[in-house]
Amino acid sequence: MKNRVLSGIRATGRLHLGNYLGAVKGMLALQDNADYETFYMVADVHTITTPYNVEELRKNRREVILDYLAAGLDPEKSVIFQQSEVNEHIELAFLFSSVVTIAKMQHLPTFKDKVKQHPDSATMALLNYPILMASDILIYNASMVPVGIDQEPHLEVAREIARRMNADFRTNFAEPKRFGTKGEYVPSLTGEGKMSKSVEGSYINLTDSLEDIKKALARVVTDSGRGTVRKKEGLREYYYEDENGRLSEGVGALLKFVELFQGFDKRREYEQMYDGDGIRYGDLKSSLADAIFAELSPIQEKRKELEANPEYVDKIIEEGNKKAREVAAQTLEEVKKKMGLAS
Ligand code: ATP
Ligand code: MG
């Protein structure tokens, strides 16, 4: 049997550069590798773990799939589906919750971050998020998961659940590993934290025009253009201190984008300017915007074609949902038997 792959994106908005570089690029690489069988979903059930608007969700659970297809996910090579259409994910998650302690879930950094972001909405669904994610992965017995680095703590939970289930109920779950990419951590345009769909002003969407990209980059806070480049101990990660010794987070984000879209050498060039005569941010932002748009423009063309052909997209989703259900139902049935819930 081929190794399986699972990945998903929440239906909280249009895809942004972080989703593309951190997740979709990895999804594409594995889709094109004949050793793997790939399952890619829109994680619409995960959307309801934080406050959301019903109409937006209804729209986005399809929009994410359009973005997937536009970015190159291929229904001939991958099973493309909607999480909520495969009820088994939720059922298996409940079974898994019997081997996970509340304390463990409460201490996850991702849980704490979301609680900070939505202090009045720390729901049971949010606490359960990593268990549902473990179910998403293990229900296909996926061993490889192309996601950004922010998801690593959740993958650790999935591995623990796999180990516990295998030990207690003699299941045969693989311990899933993260498949990382060069863009596994794309910073927010605000300079603080990662780019996120649910953080206004943090992102550039795959559907943004050159004008939108320029406007978004214009908002990134910079400095005088000169300062000191510092390197994080033992890491190929850099940060920038302006002439007053203050951390220039916006500059850090810009130079990360330069590295991702124009290459590491270009980034080094700017760093030398920062150390020397100074960076002219107007010029940097303008050539960076062009480089980003050059990568997005073919995706946007493809998206227009797909938008003009809704029946084709509906058919892909319907078939994907059906294929996913077949595999998921089989796993769930086996687990129920092993847990004493079916004979
Ligand atoms: P939300 O704010 O609603 O949580 P998000 O932008 O964090 O949205 P998710 O749907 O949670 O996106 O994540 C989808 C995928 O994109 C995951 O694999 C995640 O690791 C990856 N991802 C999200 N943000 C980034 C980022 N800034 N850099 C790299 N990968 C990212
Ligand atoms: Mg997220």
Mean pLDDT score, 63-89? 98
How far away, in angstroms, is 152 Cα from ligand 1 center? Answer: 12
Using a pLDDT cut of 90, give the percent of the chain over it: 93
Q: Which residues pair with 41 in a beta bridge?
A: 8, 81
φ/ψ (deg, to 5) at 297:
-60, -40
**55 is written with which tokens?**
């109409």
Q: How far is CA 266 from the centre of its chain?
A: 26
pLDDT in tens, 177-203: 999 999 999 999 999 999 999 899 999
Q: Looking at residue 300, what is its pLDDT?
A: 98
Q: Looking at residue 286, what is its pLDDT?
A: 98
Q: Looking at residue 237, what is its pLDDT?
A: 79
Q: Looking at residue 235, what is its pLDDT?
A: 67
Residue 265: other Cβ atoms inside 10 A: 9
Using a pLDDT cut of 70, give the percent of the chain over it: 99
83 CB within 6 A, ligand 1: no
Residue 72 has pLDDT above 70, yes or no: yes
Distance CA(292)–CA(214), nearest Å, equals: 10
How sure is the predictor about 232, in pLDDT bands with cuts at 50, 70 and 90? Answer: confident
How far away, in angstroms, is 213 Cα from ligand 2 center? Answer: 22
The secondary structure element, H or E, covering residue 167 is helix 152-169
Residue 114 has pLDDT above 90, yes or no: no
Residue 123 has pLDDT above 90, yes or no: yes
Residue 284, C-beta contacts closer than 8 angstroms, at least 6 positions apart: 254, 258, 270
Atom 11 in ligand 1: residue holding the nearest Cα: 10
Q: Looking at residue 329, what is its pLDDT?
A: 98
How sure is the predictor about 2, in pLDDT bands with cuts at 50, 70 and 90? Answer: confident
Of 5, 12, 17, 19, best ligand 1 pocket probe by most atoms within 8 Å of the beta carbon: 19
Atom 14 in ligand 1: residue holding the nearest Cα: 9
Rg (CA), the chain: 21
The secondary structure element, H or E, covering residue 233 is none
How sure is the predictor about 117, in pLDDT bands with cuts at 50, 70 and 90? Answer: confident
Atom 8 in ligand 1: residue holding the nearest Cα: 197
pLDDT in tens, 279-326: 999 999 999 999 999 999 999 999 999 999 999 999 999 999 999 999
Cα–Cα distances in angstroms (integers) from residue 64 to residues 22, 82, 218, 240, in the given order: 15, 10, 27, 35
Mean pLDDT of the chain: 96
How far away, in angstroms, is 196 Cα from ligand 2 center? Answer: 6
pTM: 0.95
CA nearest 225: which of 251, 247, 249?
A: 251
Q: Looking at residue 335, what is its pLDDT?
A: 98
pLDDT in tens, 16-56: 999 999 999 999 999 999 999 999 999 999 999 999 999 99
Strands 78-82 and 36-43, sheet pairing? parallel
**180 is written with which tokens?**
């990382």
What's the maximum distance between 2 C-alpha atoms anywhere in the chain?
75
Q: What angle do CA 68, 69, 70 make, to 5 degrees?
A: 95
CA nearest 273: which of 291, 260, 258?
A: 258
Atom 18 in ligand 1: residue holding the nearest Cα: 147
- Which ligand is nearest the CA of 149, by number? 1
